[in-house]
Chain A
Amino acid sequence: EIVLTQSPGTLSLSPGERATLSCRASQSVNSNYLAWYQQKPGQTPRLLIYGASTRATGIPDRFSGSGSGADFTLTIGRLEPEDFAVYYCQQYGSSPITFGQGTRLEIK
């Protein structure tokens, strides 16, 4: 089973700042099948990035994913008020599918 470790646990930033979230896997992720999700309170997870770097349909270009192998990053270029939420990474390249524990992005 691939364990995903996200850091930091909580990130405190102001609107307009740049956010960098990390996701490290315990082993290489097959085919770089690494996704990022955003979840707001009481809402369903929303797919942001898949295949490590491809934005899902309708996702603003301030969201970008990078990385390969076992080290991945989600960058939010310029934070908007609606971006403050919890972010999860997920590997879907091998079974069992696993999620990171989440990074909470909060307003400073």
Chain B
Amino acid sequence: QVQLLESGPGVVKPSGTLSLTCAVSGASISNTNWWTWVRQPPGKGLEWIGEVYHSGLTNYNPSLKSRVTISVDRSKNQFSVRLNSLTAADTAVYYCATYSPGAGVAHKYWGRGTLVTVSS
């Protein structure tokens, strides 16, 4: 059973940088899955941020691409997201998740999510 756990600060200042890490257990981050970040502003829907493969290959949401970096640390079996130039619109619950497109399976495993508030 794959388990994902997000960690990082709950409050970040406007114009600052959000940095979150997702620790993976129950699976190797070097398997054939893609490792994903999704966010959900309070009371709103789900927004895909981007994803990373164990090789370091990434895909990003075009609306965030200029501000986001997703990376993988195979030695620690974890992956991370950094989002800069923050505004109040970036306040959201941030989830990490994983899926296996090669097997046709969508995002079966999710972290519990972490609320990040952008506020001075």
Chain A residues close to B by CB (< 8 Å): 1, 31, 33, 35, 37, 39, 44-45, 47, 50-51, 54, 56-57, 88, 90, 92-93, 95-102
Contacts and interface: CB of A to CB of B under 8 A. Distances in A.
The B interface, classified by DSSP as helix, strand, loop or mixed, is strand
Given A50-B106, A102-B45, A44 B62 contact: no
Interface of B: 36, 45-48, 51, 59-62, 95, 99, 101, 104-108, 110-113
A93 B47 CA distance: 16
Contact of B48 (A33, A56, A99): A99
B70 to A, nearest CB: 13
A47 B107 CA distance: 7
Contacts of B45: 88, 99-102
